[in-house]
């Protein structure tokens, strides 16, 4: 999609209930004028691959939010992929435990798809990061589950919380793993005409 000239009058809307995304935007000086969490069905389609899934969900979130003239919307979806397997947000502690046991001692991929919308125009990017999780013992998994930090996190962990102790290595975008790859999000907002650099200057 072609880039739009900067428009200092545009209002930024965050289409996300995720406090992480709000905090990450604030890190680069962006404070949305409004937060409008989308409500969509995040069930993967049969046989859907993780990257295509993350992109579809981010686009669907971006289409689900009502926008007024003069507003630009930012949505994202973070998905943990173990091979072709999609790991969303665990429904309960038992599912979080099973995700963590599957991820233990292996490399997986975290994909965050970002979608920016202005009017009917959409700009999207997917950012993939390889993440290595150390081998986890049962006491480590249980202690982590007891923190409750797994709740609402794709794959059942958050690198920015206590699970940071489980992750010796990543290759890619740290902010992408946390939920919003800042360089790419800033690039999409700029393409849509939102004056990002006015905010960071």
Ligand X SMILES: Cc1cn([C@H]2C[C@H](O)[C@@H](COP(=O)(O)OP(=O)(O)OP(=O)(O)O)O2)c(=O)[nH]c1=O
Token pair in block for residue 85 = 């397997």
Please select the residue that binds ligand X; options are 55, 89, 108, 118, rule is CB under 6 A: 89
Stretch that binds ligand X, among 4-12, 94-102, 120-128, 147-155 (CB under 6 A): 147-155
Please select the residue that binds ligand X; options are 100, 116, 158, 191, rule is CB under 6 A: 158
Positions of E strands within the chain? 11-14, 34-35, 71-82, 85-87, 107-118, 121-132, 169-171
Please select the residue that binds ligand X; options are 110, 115, 145, 188, rule is CB under 6 A: 110
Does 173 bind ligand X (CB under 6 A)? Our answer is no
- Shortest Cβ distance from residue 7 to ligand X (Å)? 25
Asked whether 72 and 192 are in contact (CB, 8 A), the reply is yes
What phi and psi values does residue 157 have, to the nearest 5 degrees? -150, 160
Distance CA 87, CA 170 (A): 18
Does 83 bind ligand X (CB under 6 A)? Our answer is no
Please select the residue that binds ligand X; options are 36, 71, 77, 194, rule is CB under 6 A: 77
Distance CA 190, CA 75 (A): 15
What phi and psi values does residue 155 have, to the nearest 5 degrees? 75, -5
The residue with tokens 């680069």 is 28
Give the active site residue among 34, 41, 68, 77: 77
Could you say which residues in the range 34-53 bind ligand X, by CB under 6 A? 37
Residues that bind ligand X (CB under 6 A): 16-18, 20, 37, 76-78, 80, 89, 110, 152-155, 157-160, 177-179
- Residues belonging to the active site: 77
């Amino acid at each position: 999609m072609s880039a739009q000239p900067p428009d200092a009058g545009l209002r930024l809307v965050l289409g996300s209930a995720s406090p992480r995304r709000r905090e990450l935007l604030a890190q680069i000086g962006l404070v949305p004028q409004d937060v409008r969490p989308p409500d969509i069905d995040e069930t993967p389609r049969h046989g859907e691959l993780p990257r295509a899934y993350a992109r579809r969900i981010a686009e669907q979130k971006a289409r689900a939010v009502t926008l007024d003239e003069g507003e630009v919307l930012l949505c994202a979806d973070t998905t943990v992929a173990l091979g072709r397997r999609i790991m969303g947000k665990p429904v309960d502690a038992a599912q979080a435990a099973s995700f963590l046991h599957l991820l233990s001692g292996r490399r997986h991929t975290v994909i965050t798809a970002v979608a920016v919308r202005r009017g009917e125009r959409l700009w999207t990017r997917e950012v993939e990061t390889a993440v290595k999780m150390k081998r986890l013992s049962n006491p480590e998994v249980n202690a982590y589950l007891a923190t409750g930090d797994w709740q609402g996190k794709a794959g059942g962990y958050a690198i920015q919380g206590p699970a940071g102790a489980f992750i010796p290595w990543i290759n890619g975008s740290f902010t992408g793993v946390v939920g919003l790859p800042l360089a790419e999000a800033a690039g999409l907002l700029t393409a849509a005409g939102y004056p990002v650099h006015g905010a960071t200057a």
